[in-house]
Chains A and B, each alone.
Chain A
């Protein structure tokens, strides 16, 4: 442990830790030792441990996206969906079968050739409720929130494309004072 840290040993251990490396040499030697130990431990991680970690990662990423959406061109809902399916299944067709849709429909949704409909998202909600039950708190509504956050963001970002066309079909017949 860090012997350089000069705080009163009788203090509450939680009041503070100064854990900064004192030198590049210390950083390097600690990093190497830690990495060697971790690599050994990683070899003993079970498939179940890995799956749990991947699903926790997905949950945290989805929650972060809802909190602070990224304003870019990426299809976040579809990326999250792919990560979810690929973490659990070795074959996507099996997932399609489990939620009672055709593999073609799933492929079209994942490849952004078809919009996921309401029923599809509801099925994912039910599926993820079952999957996350023994892993962590996950609100199935998160799928909807990601989907609609992205929808809203895309609609607002693409105003220049759709607005001029629709402006001609919207008028105000009542005079407002």
Chain B
């Protein structure tokens, strides 16, 4: 798994691990856009460059076994990685691919990842990650979920 520094096009290996209680205290809304303390009862994963403590992205997940589904509750990149001037690319993609891995690991061929973006940005997730719209929900399943995992697994 890697992210790309936009200015140099250099690749950096990243790891995605469970955020601990101490991490949650340092996740300020000014840098990570949401109140992450509200997610303490869910699985929150952080993305970091290997060997660095700097958290570049976060995702909060809910596993829904009866529906063979992993629902993305919150997803964000850190402030400096937002917009046209962002430092690194592929952060959100890696985090969505991580959710996809959890879903496939748990539910195999039935696996599904879902999220509900606002309507203005939904087209981005449909075109970038090949998500399928159903009502207000976008989902990733079948061959597309495997393709996304493969796309973000290559070193």
Q: Which residues of A contact B (CB under 8 A)?
A: 1-7, 9, 11-21, 26, 29-31, 33-35, 37-38, 41-42, 45, 49-50, 52-54, 56-57, 60-61, 64, 135-137
- B114 at the A interface (CB under 8 A): yes
- Complex: chain B residue closest to A83, CB-CB: B108
- Tell me whether B109 and A136 are in contact (CB under 8 A): no
A-side contacts of B74, CB under 8 Å: 16-20
Residue of A nearest to B57 (CB): A14
Report the contact-size class of chain B (Cβ under 8 Å from the partner): 35 or more
Q: Which chain B residue lies CB-closest to A42?
A: B110
Check A30/B116 contact, CB under 8 A, given A11-B82, A17-B72.
Answer: yes
Chain B residues within an 8 Å CB radius of A41: 132, 141-142
Q: A37 touches which one: B72, B134, B146, B149 (CB < 8 A)?
A: B134
**Least distance between B36 CB and chain A CB atoms (Å):** 11
Q: How far is the CA of A57 from the CA of B134 in the complex (A)?
A: 25
Cα A19 to Cα B80 with chains together (Å):
22
CB nearest neighbor in B for A87? B108
- The interface bits of chain B over 42-67 (1 if a CB of A lies within 8 angstroms of the residue's CB, else 0) are 00000000000000000000001001
Query: Would you call B3 an interface residue if the criterion is a C-beta within 8 Å of the partner chain's C-beta atoms?
Result: no
Could you list 21 examples of A-B contacts with CB < 8 Å? A2-B119, A4-B118, A11-B83, A14-B124, A15-B81, A16-B34, A30-B136, A30-B137, A31-B64, A34-B69, A34-B112, A37-B139, A38-B134, A42-B142, A49-B142, A50-B109, A53-B104, A56-B149, A57-B111, A61-B105, A64-B105
Nearest residue in A to B153 (C-beta to C-beta)?
A137
